[in-house]
Copies of this chain bind each other. A is one copy, B any other.
Amino acid sequence: MKIGIIGLGLIGGTIAKSLKERHHISAYDINKAALDYAEENQIIHKGYHDIKEFLKNNNLIYLCLYPKEIKDFLEQNKDLIINDTVFIEISGVKTSIIKEVETLGSTKFDLIYTHPIAGREFSGVSYSDSKIFSKANYLIITYERNKKENVILAENLANEMGFGKITHVSPQFHDDIIAYTSQLTHVISMALVNSFDEENVDLLNFTGDSYRDLTRIANINMFLWHQLLTMNKEALVKRIEAFEAELSKIKHALIDEDFIQTTMCLAKSEHLHKRYMKGNNK
């Protein structure tokens, strides 16, 4: 198949690397250096510098843009998109994007909303690596306006890319669960890093795996995460507040020297973590 990629960053580059053995991959990016890098390193077969040419020659396109750019891109290029183009987007928020795209009222294209739960603490095509998709989770949004065959196509391509579990979920469920597993974890990591700014202490001498693990994702792509946090604000704030309540329980158990309550918090954590690791439907 001919597969196009718009936006050659970490994820766009990784999609290219994961599919290029079996498909013809072309790409468009406003960043010419990313396109040149991808061509030189044979990550893609062809780079387009002209969006018109790109859209004319591709009718199956991964849209790897930042969440806030998706609707704008579709709007600005509505006359250049050829009929029946299938777009597959890959961002970390859904309900607000769907709402924005619906305002366009376009029937020219079918946009499949998906979320590869994979990433790195670095951005850009040069960090792309097909290993990050291997066995990772992939979510496909159940959306009544999508054509069934296009959803199946997106799922088949996710399988080809090596994803592990592929799950179909509603936009609301997606945003609620991702607020917890992804956006809350980033917010926590940020707050942890932000709560220590003693300049005269070289933290590096006092940390172990725990701190390294909890702060790795604080090395954040600010522009992307600003959008992800604010566009999923409602679900995220609820998740922050549930977390704050549990943290407060532990804090007060310590302050009150409440042996039983401290033990209960520890035991709950051990129990829930084991259930998570085992997979609670198995």
Contacts and interface: CB of A to CB of B under 8 A. Distances in A.
Contact of A119 (B209, B269, B272): B209
Contacts of A250: 187, 190-191, 229, 240
Give the number of copies in the complex.
Answer: 2
A127 to B, nearest CB: 14
Interface string A192-208: 11111101011111111
Interface residues of A, number: 89
Nearest to A165: B205
A170 interface: no
Contacts of A182: 208, 210-211
A167 interface: yes
11 contacts: A119-B209, A137-B208, A181-B206, A181-B211, A190-B269, A191-B249, A195-B239, A222-B266, A226-B263, A226-B266, A233-B254
Interface of A: 117-119, 136-137, 139, 165, 167, 177-178, 180-182, 184-197, 199, 201-211, 213-220, 222, 225-226, 229-230, 233, 236-237, 239-251, 254-255, 257, 259, 262-263, 265-270, 272-274, 276-277, 279-282
